[in-house]
């Protein structure tokens, strides 16, 4: 792959077609160690999903109109991500690196 690999948020229209993706890469963040752990679990689960290239994302002027208003939690629940993440990978706190965790 040219340019390396990143994880980005991908948005789909009501028919399941790719509508857009986030401009910036996703970085793990949590306001607590438990939230950070959950975020890392979600990123690990993303590695098992289909790889999408920039060519798969329509240019801004060709993107279909998408309804807005659902919370991130509602979208994750609708897609079944929480249960799939918990089943596919569980990163225990013992597996987290002992250093480098920031509590900013």
Least confident of 53-57, 73-77, 85-89: 85-89
Q: Is the pLDDT of residue 66 over 90?
A: no
d(CA 12, CA 48): 18
pTM for this entry: 0.49
Q: How far apart are the first and last CA of the chain?
A: 34
Structure confidence at residue 65 (pLDDT): 61
Report pLDDT digits (tens) over 3-37. 788 888 888 888 888 888 888 888 898 999 999 99
pLDDT value, residue 20 = 87
pLDDT value at residue 99? 47
> Which H or E element spans position 1?
none
Q: How far apart are CA 78 and CA 72, in angstroms?
A: 10
Check if the beta carbon of residue 39 is closer than 8 Å to that of residue 85. no
Q: Is the model more confident about 100 or about 72?
A: 72
Q: How many CB atoms lie within 10 A of CB 36?
A: 19
Closest CA to 17 of 52, 69, 61, 47: 52
- pLDDT tens digits for range 29-62: 899 999 999 999 999 998 898 888 888 888 877 6
């Amino acid at each position: 792959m040219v340019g390396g690999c990143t994880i980005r948020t991908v948005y789909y229209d009501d028919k399941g077609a790719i509508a857009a993706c986030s401009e910036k890469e996703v970085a793990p963040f949590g306001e607590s160690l438990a939230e950070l752990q959950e975020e890392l679990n979600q990123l690990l689960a993303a590695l098992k999903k289909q790889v999408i290239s920039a060519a798969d994302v329509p240019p801004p002027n060709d993107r279909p109109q998408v309804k807005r208003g659902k919370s991130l939690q509602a979208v994750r629940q609708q897609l079944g991500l929480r249960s799939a993440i918990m089943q596919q990978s569980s990163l225990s706190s013992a597996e987290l690196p002992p250093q480098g965790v920031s509590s900013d």
